[in-house]
Amino acid sequence: MRCYRQASPILDLCRVDVQEIPVKMELRRHSAVHYKDKILIFGGEDEVYNENNTVYILDLSTGAYSPAKVCGTPPRPMKDHTATIVVEIGFMLVFGGSPNAKGAVHALELSGM
């Protein structure tokens, strides 16, 4: 990883050398959160407007990028949601989304990550 510092100590712009991506992916209207040394990306829509409910992981220490192996019943495919990490309970929470997920909250347990 190569990092470029701005004059402000608050903003660090980093470039991660990502390994070859094993899945075709061009997402928009998704959510992304930082957890430990990983970026978790959830949902969104692809270049032809198909919504998805996949969790992808970008490992910042290795540059590896892949779909996450998750268990349980995933939420419906969605876009336009938001996500946050609640470290104290070890969950990524996903709020809202469309279509038809207004007011919904979904949780992904992060143990073992």
- pLDDT one digit per residue (tens) for the chain, 113 residues: 343 444 444 444 555 555 555 555 688 999 999 999 899 999 999 889 999 999 999 888 888 888 888 888 888 999 999 999 999 989 999 998 887 777 888 999 988 77
Q: What pLDDT sits at residue 5? A: 42
Domain count, the chain: 1
> φ and ψ at 24, to 5 degrees?
-75, 125
7 within domain boundaries: no
Q: Is residue 10 part of a domain?
A: no
- What lies within 8 Å, CB to CB, of 45 at 6+ separation is 27, 28, 29, 30, 51, 52, 79
Residues 6+ apart with CB under 8 A from 29: 43, 44, 45, 79, 80
Tell me whether residue 65 is in a domain. Answer: yes
Sheet holding 79-86, edge to edge: 79-86, 91-98, 105-109
Are residues 77 and 35 in contact, defined by beta-carbon separation less than 8 angstroms?
Answer: no
Residue 6 belongs to a domain: no
- Residue 35 within any structural domain of the chain: yes
pLDDT value at residue 62: 85
- pLDDT computed for residue 27 by the predictor: 87
Q: Is residue 53 part of a domain?
A: yes
Are 76 and 49 in contact by the 8 Å Cβ rule? The answer is no
In a domain, 14, yes or no: no
| Inside any domain, residue 19 | no
Q: Centre a 10 Å sphere on the Cβ of residue 42 and count the other Cβ atoms it contains.
A: 25
Residue with tokens 């495919």: 77
CB distance 98 to 79 below 8 Å: yes
Range of the domain at 46: 25-109
